[in-house]
A and B are shown apart, each in its own frame.
Chain A
Amino acid sequence: MFEEIIVAGAGGQGVLVLGEVLAIAAVKAGNKATWLPAYGPEMRGGTANCSVVLSSKEIGSPLVQEPSLLVCFNQPSITKFGPATAKGGKIFANADTIEEYPQMKEGVEIIKIKVNSLAAALGDERALNMVMLGAVLKKSAFVTLESCALALRDIWGAKAEELLPTSLKAMRSGQEAVAGQA
């Protein structure tokens, strides 16, 4: 397995946590993983993104420049990273906020999902990143819902008991939403 992922969106959309869950879940399944946030001046101004590399072998560069998988929560993210996505790669796009799609490389598959609406329907708009995570799980075989739940327990510690049920519901909702898409 070798997967280069960029998760991008606005600050407060849970972008960094989503990347971290993918990385830890991959480690729990016996793989190597790196998680690198955009930091410093890039952090200011409300945009956030992180590079996640998952691999069954030792990882070279932790910085992703040509993602095989791109997760976008807002318009600026897809405008910036969409064209860089590798041939045959996958893009998960938040259809609630993204209207314009830039020119992509050949064979790039775009999976559209309204994560704001789906999270709101579950009664917790903050769970939009977990809805997106569910979609990623459904369409990619490299991590399971179970290992993601274990990863969330690590990240949240004592708060996991309280937060996990909503997150699992959100993940399942995301999985169902993209099940029909080719």
Chain B
Amino acid sequence: MKAVYEKTTAFNDLVTGYCPGCGHGIVQRMIGECMDELGISDRLVAILGVGCSSPSWRFMTYDILSVPHGRPGAAASGMKKCDPNKIVYTYQGDGDSGSIGFSETVYPAVRGDNITSIIVNNTVYAMTGGQMAPTTLAGQVTTTSPKGRDVNATGQPLHLPELVASLPGSRYVARVSLHDTAHIRKAKQAIKQAFENQINGVGYSMVEVLSPCPSIWRMKPVDCMERIAREVIREFPLGTFKGA
């Protein structure tokens, strides 16, 4: 018999611990598949910020560095400079990258460092219980925007990829989504492209992934996917903003 679907070697036998319907497991599995397909398991390093994915070192089999909230971009730059052989990627949420770590996330692109940035955007601070994030949609209710996000007081949702794409130092910038199988396949292609770029010395790549959060959104997983397709994509358009 021929195997048509296997577990990636990037995971051990522990369960992820993510909530049912969470997107992190899908994204980290896709990264694992890329690792296997590109033959970089000896070189790959994930740099984790602080968020729901911080404890994910438990179930991954390759090298992990866990750094302060928002700082994976700077740590990735330093690591790549000290050891250019590494394939270094940052793995952050939208709050880690777009709020507390805004500077450290944008500057690797300013410098054009040859690293890969994966950002999981679920429009909220999920780990801390659902507070307003820089990516929270206008009118979206969170624990710190109980009447819905007032964009007159808190600004419009932050579009990190579009901003980074405008910098001369970035080479490949895309936004993808997990809301159905077709889009998950596209997301995988974008993530693989971002790693291939680093392997080939092309330069800085960023992929933002729109991802569901059933626990904080207080929705069934299927409804979360519908919300992304219906509402979230309207604010955060999918596509490749830079590079092929």
A and B touch in the complex (CB under 8 A): no
